[in-house]
Amino acid sequence: MKFLEIDGSFGEGGGQIVRTAIALSCILNQPLKIENIRKNRKNPGLKPQHLTALKILKKICNSKQNNLKTGDMKLEYIPNNVQSLNLSENVGTAGSISLIIQVLIPVVAICKKKLILRIIGGTNVPWSPTIDYTQIILKEAYARMGIFFSIKIIKRGYYPKGGGIIELEVFPSKKLKSITLGKRKIKTAEIIGTHSKLPFDLINGQVKDFKRKLIKNGFSLKTLVKEEPSISSGASVLVSSIDDSSIIGLDSLFNNKTQSFDIDLEKFIQNKFSVDEHLADMLVLPASLASGITIFQISKISKHLETNLFVASKITGCKYGIGKLKDGYEVRIEGISHASIK
């Protein structure tokens, strides 16, 4: 059996390489060998959320893999046919649910299957998109590309205890499509704040500050602040702006030390392009498989985006290009066409 070898320390060298590579492995039925996983990180190797994603994928596509544990830096993965399933899983830590389902959603949808998943873990945790970002920003972008899913948040799960619960439903994709996004056309935004075991006035006061700053910069907006149950105390905020030419989100967790959200609102205000830097990463996988050319504009090319483009092109054979604009960049990804996926 011929394995395609991927160096997990390439580029930004994080878990995104594993997530993208394994998802494409399942979709294209391509055996993979990944080495040096998260080699240069403080705690190298696989983390609990990676193991949970692999565990679920093993059930979904009857895959074979070497015996794995937290901290392992080498992965051999042999996929098989993807099937529809109804599952219940528990990460066992505050490991990110968003990062886990980021792997599962495209695999199941693009392979024209269905998944119902109830999963326990972290919904709003550091170094990960919040579940709100996934439910609003990623869902909108994926829907435009022909990938549909729904999320029901049962319980929030903040770091360090996790314990969050969501129900995910992924639907078979009828057709995977490329998309073209340009610049943000209108200044409309929405702010969603959620909190648990923290004073409403504290969180609402900061959301009001964000609202005032956005209005001052010409935005019209809606705001919502709500308390939701969780084992650990915590809060998060998502600022989003969506029109037919752009999908932009900025999320943040509440910092208990500073008693504030670590959010660069100016970054959101000044972003006049198609997408935020995190969504740019997430568009690469479906774009590499779609028919036609996906086009989007962004203020800067992150290491994460460079790495994801490289990994996707190595596995799928897709072509991509990055063009310099006056004050940003345009990314073009020519997919290999959904029709070629077996």
Per-residue pLDDT of the chain (342 residues; tens, 9 = 90+): 788 999 988 877 788 899 999 999 999 999 999 999 998 888 899 988 888 889 999 999 989 888 888 899 999 999 999 999 999 999 988 889 999 999 999 999 999 999 999 999 999 999 899 999 999 999 999 999 999 999 999 999 999 999 999 999 999 999 999 999 999 998 999 999 999 999 999 999 999 999 999 999 999 999 999 999 899 999 999 999 999 999 999 999 999 899 999 899 999 999 999 999 999 999 999 999 999 999 999 999 999 999 999 999 999 999 999 999 988 999 999 999 854 444
Q: Provide the pLDDT for residue 341.
A: 47
| Cβ-contact 136, 173 below 8 angstroms | no
Q: Is 123 helix (H, G, I), strand (E, B) or coil?
A: coil
304 catalytic, yes or no? yes
Chain position carrying tokens 């590579």? 21
77 beta partners:
32, 65
| Cβ-contact 133, 98 below 8 angstroms | yes
Q: Is 229 helix (H, G, I), strand (E, B) or coil?
A: coil
* Angle (CA) 86 87 88, round 5°: 145
Cα 251 from Cα 214, distance rounded (Å): 15
| DSSP classification of residue 2 | P
Nearest of 217, 207, 327 to residue 269 by alpha carbon: 217
What are 254-262's contacts with CB under 8 Å, separation 24+?
A: 254/195, 254/198, 254/203, 259/202, 260/206, 261/206, 261/235, 261/237
What are the CA-CA distances from residue 179 to residues 140, 204, 334 (Å)? 12, 36, 11
Catalytic residue among 50, 195, 304, 338: 304
Domains of the chain: 4-180+275-340 (3.65.10.20), 188-270 (3.30.360.20)
Q: Is beta strand 220-227 parallel, antiparallel or unpaired with respect to 188-196? A: parallel
Nearest of 113, 271, 107 to residue 183 by alpha carbon: 271
Contacts of 57 (CB under 8 A, 6+ apart): 22, 26, 63, 79, 103, 104, 107
Backbone dihedral region of 45: left (phi > 0), alpha (psi from -120 to 50 degrees) or beta? left
Q: Provide the pLDDT for residue 2.
A: 86
